[in-house]
Amino acid sequence: MLNETSAEPREQTAGLNAGGMHYRQLNATLRDMVAGGAQRIEIKDVCGQRYIGTNLCAPLAIDLHGTPGNDLGAFMSGPRITVYGNAQDGCGNTMDDGRIVIHGHAGDVTGLSARGGKIFIRDDAGYRAGIHMKEYGARRPVVVIGGTAQDFLGEYMAGGVILLLGVTLEGSRAHDCDFVGTGMHGGAIYLRGTIDHARLGREVGVSDPDENDMLLIRSLVAEYAALFGRDEAELLQGGFVKLYPRWLRPYGNVYAY
C-alpha cells in the first residue's frame, strides 16, 4: 500500500461549461478558479468569448473546446492554453510567456506585439501574423504556423521567430502571401518551401539557414510534430529559406532629430 507521504501530488483539475456564458462572466469565473488553486482547467462549448486567459500569470494548463474569440491569451505570462478548434483574431496579443497550441486555424494579427512565449498553429494563420513582435535579452517569442499565412506576415517585426511549414500547400506550390516582412527590422522568418522574392517587403533579405538556424528549426519542428502527431522527418524535407531584416532602422530617415 502506498504511503501518503511518498505519493506524488495529483494535479488539480476543474471543469467549466461556457455554453451561453458572457465573456465577462467566463473570465471572472476563470480567474476565481485560478485563485482557488486549479492547475488544469477544461472549458467546453467555447463560442466566441473574448479575452480568455488575459493577464493570467499562473503556470496552469487551460484546455478549450470550441472557438475562442479575439485576444486569446493576451498579456498572459505562464499559462499553457490548448485550443481544440480554431482561434479568432489577436491570439497571443502582447503575450509575455507561456504557450498557446491551436488545433486548427488562427485569425489575423496572431502574436501581435508578443514579447515571449510560443504559439503553435496546426494549420494556417490570417493577415499580419507576428506584427510588431519584439524580443529582449533571453525573451524571444516564437510563432510556428503549420500551413501558410496571409499578407503582411511579420510586418514591423522587431524580434522573435516565425516559422511557416507549408503543410497545407498542395504539391510544391509556393507560399503566396504578399508584403512579407514589410517594415521588418529584427528577428527572423523561416519558410519551408519557396516564395517569390517579389512578395517580400523591400526591407527583407533572403538566405539559406546556417547551422544555428537549422538547430532552431529542428527543435521547433520536433515540438510541432509532437503536439500535432506529424512526421518530424517528413517536415524537415523540402528545404528552408531564411528571411531577415536588411536594415535595423528602415524608417530612421523619416524622423527629425
Confidence of residue 194 (pLDDT cuts 50, 70, 90): very high
pLDDT score for 11: 61
Rounded CA-CA distance 243/232 in Å is 22
pLDDT for residue 256: 52
**Residue 199 DSSP label:** G
Per-residue pLDDT band at 97 (split at 50, 70, 90): very high
Mean pLDDT of the chain: 92
> What pLDDT shows up at residue 10?
52
What is the share, in percent, of the chain residues with pLDDT greater than 70? Answer: 92
* Residues facing 41 on adjacent strands: 14, 62
- What are φ and ψ of residue 82, in 5° steps? -120, 125
Residue 46 near residue 21, CB atoms below 8 Å: no
Question: Has residue 74 got a pLDDT over 90?
Answer: yes
pLDDT tens digits along 98-133: 999 999 999 999 999 999 999 999 999 999 999 999
**What's the average model confidence in pLDDT over 74-94?**
97
Cα–chain center distance at 66: 18
Task: Indicate the pLDDT class of residue 173, thresholds 50, 70 and 90.
Answer: confident
Residue 101 C-alpha cell reads as 497550441
> pLDDT at position 138, please?
86
- Specify the pLDDT at position 167: 95
Distance between CA 245 and CA 42 in Å, rounded?
41
Count the alpha carbons within 13 Å of 149 in the hemisphere toward its beta carbon.
Answer: 35
**Residue 169 backbone dihedrals phi, psi, to 5 degrees:** -80, 140
pLDDT for 44-57, tens place per residue? 999 999 999 999 99
Average pLDDT over residues 232-247: 94
Which distant-in-sequence residues (6+ apart) come within 8 Å of 44 by Cβ? 15, 16, 17, 18, 19, 65, 66
DSSP secondary structure letters along 29-59: HHHHHHHTT-SEEEEEEEES---TTTT--S-
pLDDT band at 9 (very low <50, low <70, confident <90, very high): very low
CATH 3.40.50.2300 for domain 105-251: no
Secondary element (H or E) of residue 15: strand 13-17
**CA separation for the pair 208, 60 (Å, rounded):** 38
pLDDT at 255: 52
Lowest mean pLDDT among 56-70, 165-179, 193-207: 165-179
Task: Report the pLDDT averaged over residues 177-181.
Answer: 96
